[in-house]
Structure 1
């Protein structure tokens, strides 16, 4: 079940800052899990050093992983990544789009520069990877693409981040529409939609959203927002991505799996009747 033996997995955003940490990033967890299931991982990451942390973890377990420094907002850089993967393996069976950053601001307060950077990193990156990889998958007659969105693209989650929310919503529709276009070509496209997750990125977000310290209260608040009373972690997202890329999901395309502990089904504090 859920095996990826021999399949070539191209993934972005797989870096992990600390090889000793038990708190995993989503991309690192996906890369490690896919390698454990037999996939051959080829990763592009903004930081080569953090990508090497993930590569070393995979190879220590006997898996296969190559990494490159990649700017996912640059078509030339993305093409270099794709070409290198093809030169090494001759095919791409799975594409995982996993980059993103949330910047605070509403339309009145967010600068044009920040807005543009949100669109470039969160949304254009998905377009560029698909632009260069989908023709390869079409020629193969097979392939699976998963993009990582966010419940911020489905509802307001307590902080002003209009650029992030808009781009993550756009990813879901991009994947849905493209899935229909490629349905007869043997290529499936789906989205994983994480809720509030406890990752290294989440801890870094405190500096952008929380003033005068308060990081502990911020994390406590995030736990309390979830009906299950706790945040999820990177492995929850990785498991959903693995399913969507596996043969067990061969009749699933144009869909999203929401991994959120119930938060998008929750309307707020329950009434006391």
Structure 2
């Protein structure tokens, strides 16, 4: 029960839809289930209320505490409402987990081919939303003199990656995390980032298979072959990292990024 008596707000906590009945668990859902299993009360914010409710129901069926809320992170008012609802129900906000992100599904492309509107949309979704979430969460956490912000970046921030929008946003998240950490350390607030590598999720694999008109198995095999450990990671690997960083065990860890990538980030030059 490493998060007992804690409250967590997870943006992007619903399960991404898939045409496959055997779709892997997404990072947001895995983190929500893990936080709840470790004792946290979890507010699950997702643009699909059905997806958020399904995860919340899964948690409550297992004896945990969770509530769903519809939230489009492109709308600042939705972000503020999600934070306010967390406070209204549980009186505090201990953990802010920013998990929303898209790449090729949002029109990402190489820099010579990117559409300006697509680039703006990707930056708003992947980066601007995290800035606005912190804008409204930090006053609450400063008043509490405690809190943890977990920002999901990507190994794409520091590894070779072909599409400009996602890479630029995920790299900026690393700088944002460092700024949040140093500017809020005096309030007892920690800020950390996670850089997932090749993780087997609907967003990472199914979306590419659909965009490229290829089989899921083929795309998954290609991704696994690129990992030094010769396999993709799972959403649970990311959730386990988030659990550690959110817990008291990481109480003196702030301003860092933790790679969850099967050693992919060790390839330099």
Shorter-chain TM band: over 0.9
Cα deviation for residue 155 of structure 1 reads 1.4
Which residue does 2:145 correspond to in 1?
A: 141
Unmatched runs of 5 consecutive residues or more in structure 1: 269-273
Cα deviation for residue 204 of structure 1 reads 2.8
Pick which of 146-155 and 201-210 moved more: 201-210
Distance 2:215 2:79 in 1: 38
Q: Deviations over 1:200-225 (max 9, x none)?
A: 21233224652x42443221110000
Note if contact 2:26-2:235 (Cα within 8 Å) is conserved in structure 1.
Answer: yes
Q: Deviations over 1:164-208 (max 9, x none)?
A: 000000001100111000011110000011000001212332246
Q: Are residues 267 and 141 of structure 1, via their aligned partners in 2, closer, same or farther at CA, if it must alter by over 3 Å?
A: closer
- Cα RMSD for the two superposed structures: 1.7
Q: How does 1:118-137 map to 2 (within 5 A)?
A: 118-137=122-141
Q: How does 1:92-103 map to 2 (within 5 A)?
A: 92-103=93-104
Cα deviation for residue 264 of structure 1 reads 1.2
- Does residue 1:13 correspond to 2:12, yes or no? yes
- TM-score w.r.t. the length of structure 2 is 0.94
- Does residue 1:86 correspond to 2:92, yes or no? no
Which residue does 1:39 correspond to in 2?
A: 40
Unmatched runs of 5 consecutive residues or more in structure 2: none
- Does residue 1:196 correspond to 2:198, yes or no? yes
Cα deviation for residue 107 of structure 1 reads 2.0
Which residue does 2:172 correspond to in 1?
A: 170
Cα deviation for residue 74 of structure 1 reads 1.1
Equivalenced residue count is 264
Q: Is the partner of 1:190 in helix, strand or coil?
A: strand
Which residue does 2:110 correspond to in 1?
A: 106
Moved over 3 A (4+): none
Note if contact 1:227-1:266 (Cα within 8 Å) is conserved in structure 2.
Answer: no
Cα deviation for residue 266 of structure 1 reads 2.5
Note if contact 2:109-2:163 (Cα within 8 Å) is conserved in structure 1.
Answer: yes
The equivalent position to 2:182 in structure 1, one of 180, 198, 202, is 180
